[in-house]
């Protein structure tokens, strides 16, 4: 009897103790024992509709460093405002990534790949990927030709489908085109966009599977992971697991195919990676193996396709609503390129207004509104607050993109803010849609080239308008791990 009472007392003291915030813990809502701020956050996100809006709201109340406790997982620290974001992302002790159940599960139960690894594995993989993609013309003319080819196919697909009324599947078409250039780099096969292709559709549905079903904070399976044993169905674990197996199997088959086909020649990323596995097979520590390769390929698709696709979707959505801006882009393209000459990357400098429009959409749409989660790798102090090892940190990029003191009228869509007196595009270091520091996006060049060439090609040929009586699109988009543009129908009018 006494034993039980003592145990209970200790248990209660422990719960209350955990509930207390450490003295220098960043400020934030107090929350409840055990579940912490899970309910506060749910209420706030229900009200604000977007996780990133909730982060900005919390920053307004508590300041640039906000601390949340979500269940038994490590505290979540939201870092807002440019100074705090830069400080956090510049310091190597914040270069880690969380090592939760969910993060390991997505790469077959172990830490693999590049997005959610850290330390030596991550450094070696990131370096290798950047080097290899560069060899395959990432950021060079060869890549540009591949993208242009797809962009031209895309315009002709749009032209023929526009004959039968408003386009409702525009984004599907753009995502296929975006996918194609990445697939070409990684697997070496190009798909003819003008033919229906079941393999391509399969990849697309795989990508959708990956991206549309996760939350920035990791969801219930991160905060209370043991619940999956109690209710695999309700926590979503069963579905997640099946999805995981399907995705892994798909990329595994691709790797197996490459292994059978290559006879020493290095035709694409997978070939080069397979060669590296062989080369390192004798060394005592090697981070290169087949599971690692599958995870890396999966990571590139997870990180690359949706973000680029959504950005292009947002550009079209904004231009459909802001016809005056679209008219200026048209005028610039007509003046600089005319109707026939295809746009090239080299033309970026001659198309400052288009450049500014893309930048302004990136600033407002916030397709990746926070960084991917970071992890503190040691106990440290950030702007006076104590950050313990393993705390999770999110850089609130949206707070930088909408900072009133810097932009003046941050809510307003105004590409001119990126244009100087001489009519030139000026870069603004407050725009950091690809993140900052060593963890910065690895696909920035590819994404920028894709977005620029697709947008230029589409706008050279078409004017995009809403069908009559279409409701005004919700420019905030749809929340998820990335933010997606709203579902709308569009009429593509061929320009004379």
Ligand X SMILES: *[C@@H]1O[C@H](CO)[C@@H](O)[C@H](O)[C@H]1NC(C)=O
Q: Any alpha helices (H) in 366-403, and if so which ranges?
A: 397-401
Q: Which of these ranges, 48-56, 139-147, 336-344, 367-375, lies near ligand HEM under the rule CB under 6 A?
A: 367-375
Q: What angle do CA 41, 433, 80 make, to 5 degrees?
A: 40
| Tokens 């450490």 sit on residue | 22
Residue 433 makes contact with ligand HEM by CB under 6 A: yes
Range 426-447 burial, b when 16+ CB lie within 10 A, else e: eeeeebbbbbbbebebbbebbb
| Among residues 221, 329, 441, 459, the one that binds ligand HEM under rule CB under 6 A | 441
474 three-state secondary structure: coil
CA distances from 402 to 52, 187, 294, 413, 456 (A): 12, 39, 37, 11, 26
The contact set with ligand X (CB under 6 A) reads: 45, 99, 171-172, 175, 204, 207-208, 213-215, 219-220, 236, 278-279, 281-282, 305-306, 309-310, 313, 348-349, 352, 355, 389-390, 424-425, 448, 484-485
Q: How far is the CB of 373 from ligand HEM (least distance, A)?
A: 7
Partner whose binding site includes residue 299, from ligand X, ligand HEM, none (CB under 5 to 8 Å by kind): ligand HEM
Residue 326 makes contact with ligand HEM by CB under 6 A: no
Instruction: Tell which residue, 189, 470, 117, 458, has the closest CA to residue 312.
Output: 458
CB 35 within 8 A of CB 71: yes
| Among residues 68, 114, 158, 294, the one that binds ligand HEM under rule CB under 6 A | 114
| Among residues 40, 150, 254, 299, the one that binds ligand HEM under rule CB under 6 A | 299
CB 79 within 8 A of CB 394: yes
Angle between helical axes of 269-280 and 119-135 (0-180°, round to 10): 130
- The residue among 413 and 434 lying less far from ligand HEM, judged by its C-beta, is 434
Q: Collect all residues with Cβ–Cβ distance below 8 Å to 282 and sequence separation of at least 6.
A: none
- The residue among 268 and 310 lying less far from ligand X, judged by its C-beta, is 310
Q: How far is the CB of 393 from ligand X (least distance, A)?
A: 14
CA distances from 272 to 164, 186, 218, 253 (A): 45, 10, 33, 17
Q: How far is the CB of 388 from ligand X (least distance, A)?
A: 6
Q: How far is the CB of 222 from ligand X (least distance, A)?
A: 9
Partner whose binding site includes residue 442, from ligand HEM, ligand X, none (CB under 5 to 8 Å by kind): ligand HEM
Residue 485 makes contact with ligand HEM by CB under 6 A: no
CB 456 within 8 A of CB 343: yes
Q: How far is the CB of 155 from ligand X (least distance, A)?
A: 18
Query: What string marks each residue from 72 to 91 as x (binds ligand HEM by CB under 6 A) or -?
Result: -----------------x--
Q: First CA to last CA across the chain, in angstroms?
A: 89
Residue 449 makes contact with ligand HEM by CB under 6 A: no
Partner whose binding site includes residue 446, from ligand HEM, ligand X, none (CB under 5 to 8 Å by kind): ligand HEM
Distance from C-alpha of 272 to C-alpha of 259, rounded to nearest angstrom = 11
Query: What string marks each residue from 200 to 239 as x (binds ligand HEM by CB under 6 A) or -?
Result: ----------------------------------------
Partner whose binding site includes residue 303, from ligand X, ligand HEM, none (CB under 5 to 8 Å by kind): ligand HEM
| Tokens 């500014």 sit on residue | 356
> Which residues between 178 and 197 bind ligand HEM (CB under 6 A)?
182
3-state helix, strand, coil in the chain (%, to 5): 55, 10, 35
Distance from C-alpha of 360 to C-alpha of 431, rounded to nearest angstrom = 9
Q: Which spans of this chain sit near ligand HEM (rule: CB under 6 A)?
A: 89, 114-115, 126, 182, 299-300, 303-304, 307-308, 311, 367-368, 371-372, 433-435, 439-443, 446-447
């Amino acid at each position: 009897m006494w034993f039980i009472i003592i145990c209970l007392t200790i248990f209660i003291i422990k719960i209350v103790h955990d509930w207390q915030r450490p003295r220098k813990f960043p400020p934030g809502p107090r929350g409840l024992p055990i579940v912490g701020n899970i309910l506060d956050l749910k209420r706030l996100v229900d009200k604000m509709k977007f996780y990133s809006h909730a982060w900005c709201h919390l920053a307004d109340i508590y300041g640039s460093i906000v601390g949340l406790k979500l269940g038994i997982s490590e505290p979540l620290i939201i870092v807002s405002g440019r100074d705090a974001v830069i400080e956090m992302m510049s310091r190597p002790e914040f270069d880690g990534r969380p090592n939760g159940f969910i993060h390991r599960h997505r790469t077959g139960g172990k830490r693999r790949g590049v997005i959610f690894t850290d330390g030596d594995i991550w450094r070696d993989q990131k370096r290798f990927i950047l080097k290899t993609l560069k060899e395959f013309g990432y950021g060079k003319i060869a890549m540009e030709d591949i993208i242009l080819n797809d962009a031209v196919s895309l315009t002709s697909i749009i032209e023929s489908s526009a004959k039968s009324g408003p386009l409702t599947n525009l984004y599907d078409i753009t995502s296929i085109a975006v996918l194609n250039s990445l697939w070409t780099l990684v697997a070496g096969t190009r798909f003819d966009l003008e033919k229906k292709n079941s393999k391509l559709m399969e990849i697309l549905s795989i990508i959708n599977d990956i991206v549309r079903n996760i939350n920035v904070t990791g969801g219930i399976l991160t905060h209370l992971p043991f619940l999956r044993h109690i209710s695999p169905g309700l926590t979503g674990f069963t579905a997640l697991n099946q999805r995981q197996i399907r995705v892994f199997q798909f990329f595994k088959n691709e790797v197996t195919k490459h292994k059978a086909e290559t006879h020493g020649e290095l035709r694409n990323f997978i070939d080069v990676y397979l060669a590296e596995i062989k080369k390192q097979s004798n060394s005592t520590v090697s981070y290169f193996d087949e599971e690692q390769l599958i995870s890396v390929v999966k990571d590139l698709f997870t990180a690359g396709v949706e973000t680029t696709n959504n950005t292009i979707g947002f550009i079209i959505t904004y231009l459909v609503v802001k016809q005056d801006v679209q008219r200026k882009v048209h005028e610039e393209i007509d003046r600089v390129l005319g109707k026939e000459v295809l746009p090239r990357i080299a033309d970026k400098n001659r198309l400052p207004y288009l450049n500014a429009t893309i930048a302004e959409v990136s600033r407002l749409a916030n397709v990746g509104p926070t960084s991917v989660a970071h992890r503190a790798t040691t106990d440290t102090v950030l702007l006076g607050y104590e950050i313990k090892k393993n705390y999770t940190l999110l850089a609130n990029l949206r707070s930088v993109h909408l900072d009133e003191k810097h932009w003046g009228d941050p809510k307003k869509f105004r590409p001119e803010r990126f244009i100087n007196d001489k009519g030139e595009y000026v870069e603004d270091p407050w725009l950091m849609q690809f993140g900052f520091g060593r963890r910065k996006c690895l696909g920035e060049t590819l994404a920028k080239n894709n977005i620029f060439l697709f947008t230029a090609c589409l706008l050279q040929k078409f004017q995009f308008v809403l069908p009559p009586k279409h409701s005004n699109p919700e420019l905030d988009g749809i929340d998820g791990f990335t933010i997606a543009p709203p579902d709308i129908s569009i009429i593509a009018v061929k320009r004379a």
